[in-house]
Chain A
Amino acid sequence: MKKILGLLSVLVLGVVLIACKSETGTKGESTIKVYTRDTTSGTREAFFSGIDFDAATGENTPLVTGYVEVDGNGTMMSSLKNDINGIGYISLSGLAESGLTGLSFGGVAPTEANVLNDTYGLKRPFMYMTRETYASADEAALMEAFLAFMGTKEGIAAIQSEGGIVQSSATDPSWDSIKANYPVTAKDNSAITLKFGGSTSVEKVSKALTTAFAPLAGNVKVEHSHTGSGDAWKRTQGSEKDGANALHMGFLSRDIKSTEIHAANTSGRICFDAVVVVVNKENKLVTNLTALQIKGIYDGTFKVWNDVK
């Protein structure tokens, strides 16, 4: 009996040691593990067109075998945190808190300044799309107020609080100065629920906007269900606009496509953002990659970290 207990405790100790084994950094001979977003993601489109790999924007077949597909900006971050050999791409707004290392793109560091002065190559807009018609006049009025709110000091501050890149100036109106134009916001709107969705990269910015807007609009209720840029148009003016997943406003992390036919004045840009190529913090082998190198990693030309460091 004692022998068994001894054996077992050694086993358990071994298991615990293995689990707590600290990573000692990426090795050059390790295979690069490629992470990508799914095909409805606006971030994916911005990424692959930015590195000139258009064949992969809608299809996974051009990618190297063994790619891992994740379905959200945050999932990409948490997956890469656990994989020292991984490489992926996220929205710049999330870089600071992701715990990952952002790589320079063609020598330009991924910072807000570089996006604003147009030197960083993977810039992309955060867009919104609303509906043509709403279920009630109040809902339509509230959405109008929300659109106006996005241009006020409070709205811009909310966008910036989540890393959205937008120029703010002293001439931005405050909400108080324009709220008289939107009398619906003075009523109690807690019986109305506004639904927001679309891109997961824009999720944090959109949540900050609704968080700031709701108390100023009669405590209107808001719901967020972000499933990818592809659903923004689909659920406001496309095939699902009247179904169970219908949205009041959808967000996109890319430009609106020509196939997404929408009514006038129902779309616009909120702010700018950029796509950043990221690796695990323990990966000290790369700090800067060119578009060609990134494309080579994703299509399998470069297989191990030594090929690109």
Chain B
Amino acid sequence: MEKPIRFRNKEGLNLAGILHLPDTPKRKVGILFVHSGVQGRHGNTNQYVTYAREFCKLGFLCLRFDPHGLGDSEGVINPMDMRDFYGSIQSGRYVVDTLTAINEFKQFGVEEIILFGLCGGSITALLTAPFVQNLKALILLSIPIMLDSSKINYDLRIPKEIAAIHIKGYLKKIYSPKYWIRLLTLKSNFSTIFSYLKALMSGNKKLSKKEPSEGVALVNSNFFEAYNIIKHNINILWIFGSNDSFWHDFKREFINHQLLLDKDELFLIEDANHMFTLTEWQAQIIEKSEQWLRKYDLARN
């Protein structure tokens, strides 16, 4: 059964959500879907709805909700540069709303919590995790490890692997007359082409963890602060798409520093993009998550 709910956040704004109630709940374990970047409780291509319906079949109570200013929840976000909005999420914009949603979820008999998030939702889940009692696990998709801001020079953080994909794409077009017409009539995006070339030639750089300042590409220190608090107590399933630049950031700043713990699992979906747009990739996410939840005896067999 699915049921719309509304509850107030700390600022007195009504937040909207959909509760998925299984016919026969196995245990009082609930999965909370923690928004999806700039999109709320549906996720890109409505994938949160699909996941919640599938997890509900396994006996989980699920709650999808919109934090303030997104979807059906109250609150207005004034127009702004998207990178600054991302940066605010990566700095904890929606942590308090997520804690409010967890409290609300507990009103429906949920005793143990799993947080599930994609992109901005996954960093919100990680940043919220240290404050959650009875947190069982985190399923984190396409998590950003970097900090976004309109003041940052993004050329400094183009992963070499992603630059190579784009340059390969440009080279493939070299025999196309249309390509040359675009180039000669100056319609091609030269700054993008040069950025990729520069990234390809200079390779992956070690990036700063200093305070934000003009032109510096930042690793998000909030990520590590939260992770260091919860890493030994909470099981984490990390999921990425191999065509996502966030995967290359994560590999460079996390995997290559041997930070992935044995108890946790990393699942890389070949060819998938950042938002797992295609249903084929979403099917893999469902299958892997179910398998992983069963491993910890969290899902019904």
Does B associate with A? Answer: no
Chain A contacts to B: CB under 8 angstroms: none
